[in-house]
Amino acid sequence: SLSDRLTATFKNLRGKGRLSEADVDATVREIRRALLEADVAVPVVREFTATIKERALGSEVSEALNPGQQVVKIVNEELKNVLGGETRRINLAKSGPTVIMLAGLQGAGKTTLAGKLGKWLTDQGHKPVLVASDLQRPNAVTQLQVVGQRAGVPVFAPEPGATSEFDDPTGDPVAVARDGVTHARAKLYDVVIVDTAGRLGIDEALMRQARDIRNAVNPDEVLFVIDAMVGQDAVNTAKAFDDGVDFTGVVLSKLDGDARGGAALSVRSVTGKPIMFASTGEGVRDFEQFHPDRMASRILDMGDVLTLIEQAEKQWDKTEAERMAKKFTDQEDFTFEDFLAQMQQLRKMGSMKKMLSMMPGAAGMREQLENFDEREIDRVEAIVRSMTPHERVAPKIINGSRRARIARGSGVSVSEVNQLMERFAQAQKMMKRLAQGKGVPGMPGGIP
């Protein structure tokens, strides 16, 4: 499978940091094969892979993914793009009934879709009616009536011989369509779904009839239904219907089979029309709005590879997050215990003033420094010793009442405790700078 082949390709590429033309070529070759196996039309494949190659070569090097995975990620994104980002909703008429006309080859799934669409719209609070404008096959009208019954949606059909409030359409699909809309308006149906005839192959008579129906009822949507199982033919069929009836949206049917759905990419690329729905079975509920992402991974048949890529990116994100978290924690870990140790270290190293004056930011504290002698360290030590072990490691909790207690315990004033808290905060800031690798110039060996 493509997954296996790509996984093998990735193995060879693993460890390389940047996308070379050879890497991209190797991956794109596999992708091309996958697209062709999914029955995407040859010219569409050619154009698509050229886009991919261009984008892959121009892309930034990912730290999370190896080159092969990166190309696949790009392919997946582009596929989703081409297949359409946002779901396109049905255009509803501003006044009067919304008219939806179905077009497509015979057997594409139009009549079945009429029922599904009717049910779906009913569930959304609409009041649809199906119109039987396929008078080509003897059983077509009956089939739509059965479909309508199953879906719980009424059907407007010509009834030869029966008395009708309308002129007998006498087998004219255009008249039936027109009458169907009139009927809907009279009976306050708000959506009219016009089922039409299809041929096994494209022919001009069929296309003219579809065009005539379209012109007669001026639909808000013309949905082109295409069987996902059709392979390379998708392009020609889609083009013919696009030229012939100028459809507004695409419905991909029979996606429940093992079709890889290449038709979706072909139709979308050639016509630029949005794929709106997917039909996934013979039942009236086997119908859903089209999901470009699902279709993308279906076409590539690489669920596992895409999952791997997702995991690799997540893992990388996690590692990065942990690294950042640790860095942050390191800064927070600077406690009064450390502060005390630093003070003692400084005392050992000689003149406190001299040492402090070498530290960045010390210039602003020069006045304070003048009064900062070695006896100060004794007081600092006394104050810190009066803190509980918890307060030493979590200075944030040292509030007013704690400061008063610490001051009493160490025999200093509360303001001296406050000053120490302030100096501590400054030292903590400095440690943050050090942790960020900014360093402290002029400190041989750095801060202990």
* Interface with ligand GDP (CB under 6 A): 104, 106-112, 198, 225, 253-254, 256-257, 279-282, 286
Rank residues 254 and 298 by Cβ distance to ligand GDP and give the closer one. 254
Cα–Cα–Cα angle for 37, 38, 40, rounded to 5 degrees: 100
Alpha carbons 155 and 183: distance in angstroms, whole number: 11
Cβ-closest position to Mg ion:
111
What is the Cα–Cα distance from 326 to 329, expressed in whole angstroms? 5
In the bound complex, what is the minimum distance in angstroms from residue 193's beta carbon to ligand GDP? 12
Q: Are 420 and 387 in contact (CB under 8 A)?
A: no
Cα 346 from Cα 353, distance rounded (Å): 10
Q: Which one of the spans 3-11, 103-111, 229-237, 259-267 is the region binding Mg ion (CB under 5 A)?
A: 103-111
Site string for Mg ion, 311-350 (x = CB under 5 A): ----------------------------------------
What's the min distance (Å) between Cβ of 134 and ligand GDP?
7
> Contact, 36 vs 45, CB < 8 A?
yes
Q: Residue 173's binding partner, choosing from ligand GDP, Mg ion, none, with beta-carbon cut-off 5 to 8 A by kind?
A: none
Nearer to ligand GDP, 111 or 248 (CB): 111
Choose from ligand GDP, Mg ion, none: what does 256 bind? Cβ within 5-8 Å by kind: ligand GDP
Cα 416 from chain centroid (whole Å):
57
Q: How far is the CB of 39 from ligand GDP (least distance, A)?
A: 17
- By beta-carbon proximity to Mg ion, the closer residue of 211 and 353 is 211
269 makes contact with Mg ion (CB under 5 A) = no
d(CA 35, CA 231): 11
Measured from the CB atom, the residue of 88 and 110 that comes closer to Mg ion is 110
Q: Is 196 in the site for Mg ion (CB under 5 A)?
A: no
Site string for Mg ion, 55-94 (x = CB under 5 A): ----------------------------------------
Minimum distance from residue 251 beta carbon to ligand GDP (Å) = 9
Return the number of other C-beta atoms located less than 10 Å from residue 249's C-beta: 19
CB of 175 to ligand GDP, least distance (A): 20
144 binds, among ligand GDP, Mg ion, none (CB under 5 to 8 A by kind): none
279 binds, among Mg ion, ligand GDP, none (CB under 5 to 8 A by kind): ligand GDP
Kindly state the smallest distance separating residue 102's Cβ from ligand GDP, in Å: 8
Using the contact rule CB under 5 A, the part of the chain among 51-59, 102-110, 273-281, 346-354 near Mg ion is 102-110
Vertex 267, ends 264 and 272: CA angle to 5°? 115
Which residue shows structure tokens 């096994």?
Answer: 200
Query: Nearest-CA neighbor of 237 among 199, 279, 193, 274?
Result: 199
Question: 284 near 293, Cβ under 8 Å?
Answer: no
Sheet of 287-289, strand order = 155-156, 128-133, 191-196, 98-103, 221-227, 249-253, 275-279, 287-289
| 134 three-class SS | coil
Among ligand GDP, Mg ion, none, what binds residue 4 when CB lies within 5 to 8 Å by partner kind? none
Provide the H-helix boundaries in 246-363. Answer: 262-271, 292-300, 303-332, 336-349, 352-357
Tell me: does residue 253 bind Mg ion (CB under 5 A). Answer: no
Cβ 187 to ligand GDP shortest distance, Å: 24
> In whole angstroms, how large is the CA radius of gyration of the chain?
37
Which range binds Mg ion by CB under 5 A, 3-11, 104-112, 251-259, 360-368? Answer: 104-112
Phi, psi at 98, each rounded to 5°: -75, 130
Pick one of 49, 69, 98, 111: the residue that binds Mg ion (CB under 5 A): 111
Structure tokens at 95: 């006044």
Q: Which is nearer to ligand GDP, 104 or 169 (CB)?
A: 104
Binder of residue 108, out of ligand GDP, Mg ion, none (CB less than 5 to 8 A by kind):
ligand GDP
| Beta-sheet pairing, 275-279 with 287-289 | antiparallel
Runs of H (alpha helix) within 17-87: 21-37, 42-57, 67-83
H or E stretch at 155: strand 155-156
Residue 254 in 3-state DSSP?
Answer: coil
**Which one of ligand GDP, Mg ion, none interacts with residue 282, CB within 5 to 8 A by kind?**
ligand GDP
Min CB(254)–ligand GDP separation in Å = 4
Q: Pick from ligand GDP, Mg ion, none: which does 209 bind, CB < 5 to 8 A by kind?
A: none
Instruction: Note the residues at the interface with Mg ion (CB under 5 A).
Output: 110-111
